[in-house]
Amino acid sequence: MNFKEQRERKAFLALASGDVFYGHSVGAPVDACGEVVFNTGLSGYQEILSDPSYAEQFVVMTAPEIGNYGINAEDMESRKFFAAGFIVRELNEPSNWRSEESLRAALVRYNIPAIAGIDTRALTLLLREGGVQKAYICTTGEIDPDAAVEKANFWLGIDNQDYASVVTCEKPYEFAFEGFDGEELPAADLHVVAYDFGVKHNILRSLRRAGMRVTVVPSKTSAEAVLAMKPDGVFFSNGPGDPSAVGYAIENARNLIGKLPIMGICLGHQIIGLALGAKTQKLKFGHHGCNQPVMDCSRAVEISSQNHNYMVMPQGIEGKAEITYENLNDGSVEGLRLKNEKVFSVQFHPEAAPGPHDSLHLFKEFREMIFSKLPSK
């Protein structure tokens, strides 16, 4: 985009605090409210935008050059882009053999507003020091900054909101995956039911690669309906919003614990923690990126991919579960394992899309846990 086009596509980001950042529009010509978070990944913007956990959030990429390798259908993590908005320093045209579409074109196609040309370093520092904020993106020029700040302040926000039921699938389905580029998959000799609170495709692929046939069900599917499917295990997925607002999922977790082996990731981890009697608390600026260090109980360190705004507090799980991972940046709980039941969960994303592969072993551990519960298999 040349300077003349930039001048003609003026846009701004107005924070609830009153701070305003000016740039130019590089996405859909729409205005929107959202919560601003920053992501420290150097790449993976397509997987980030298509992660349903980013629903109602504006993602600020701390890496300065975004869009270089374009967009392709194979790297989508869900059916569409779910982020409410996108903020970058510089948006580039693609130059990569895998690219099927430019990031700019995809943002327009999915009706996502985006701003480039702002000082993302200053914005990131503001969020680190003051915490995440509600905000308003204006690309249409229909309101002034003062009105946008007011709209940001009146927006409901993320807290106490159930967005999992908004992004979930409409009805149960069997996940179909035959591998990429001649990849050979093991026989699917186990059956797992996965709750879709905003599940990413690579989580489902990872379960299939571990030899599991996966039935995906909507977020409000009852525990009784899941048990009627006679699965070998149950999976609680990632998802957006406040974990304390999904009471139906917490109750279903309580009703399933002790009946089947269970694994949870991200929101699923928080749901399991709440089902045990713990509480969740919002982090100052969340964990968003693919370079988060976590340490397990043997003091081995893994670099993990993360995307969450809330954490499980350790109080309330004493005697019920052990903490298996902690975040080395802030000491927050990153993993749980029940002492007397076949249940474990992690706050980070072992499916690594985007991110490192350090934690892929957890899907194998889920498989092994199921087999230990089913000696006849």
Selecting among 24, 287, 288, 349, the annotated active-site residue is 349
The separation between CA 78 and the C-alpha centre of its own chain, rounded to angstroms, equals: 11
Cis peptide before 314, with omega less than 30 degrees from 0? no
Q: How far apart are CA 37 and CA 48, in angstroms?
A: 12
Other Cβ atoms less than 10 A from the Cβ of 315: the count is: 9
Residue 349 annotated as catalytic: yes
Do 336 and 345 form a contact (C-beta atoms < 8 A)? yes
Q: Which long-range contacts (CB under 8 A, 24 or more apart) does 209-212 make?
A: 209/185, 209/363, 210/186, 210/363, 210/364, 210/366, 210/367, 211/186, 211/187, 211/367, 212/188, 212/367
- What's at 44, amino acid-wise? G
Helix (H, G, I), strand (E, B) or coil at 250: helix
DSSP state of 272: H
Phi/psi at 284 (5° precision): -60, -50
Selecting among 266, 269, 287, 290, the annotated active-site residue is 266
Q: How far apart are CA 10 and CA 318, in angstroms?
A: 54
Helix (H, G, I), strand (E, B) or coil at 191: strand
Q: How far apart are CA 309 and CA 151, in angstroms?
A: 22
**Encoding tokens for residue 206?**
């990872």
Selecting among 35, 56, 326, 351, the annotated active-site residue is 351
Q: Residues near 354 by Cβ (< 8 Å), separated by ≥ 6?
A: 41, 43, 44, 47, 48, 290, 305
Residue 266 annotated as catalytic: yes
Residue 33 annotated as catalytic: no
Q: How far apart are CA 22 and CA 11, in angstroms?
A: 6
Do 322 and 298 form a contact (C-beta atoms < 8 A)? no
Enzyme catalytic residues: 266, 349, 351
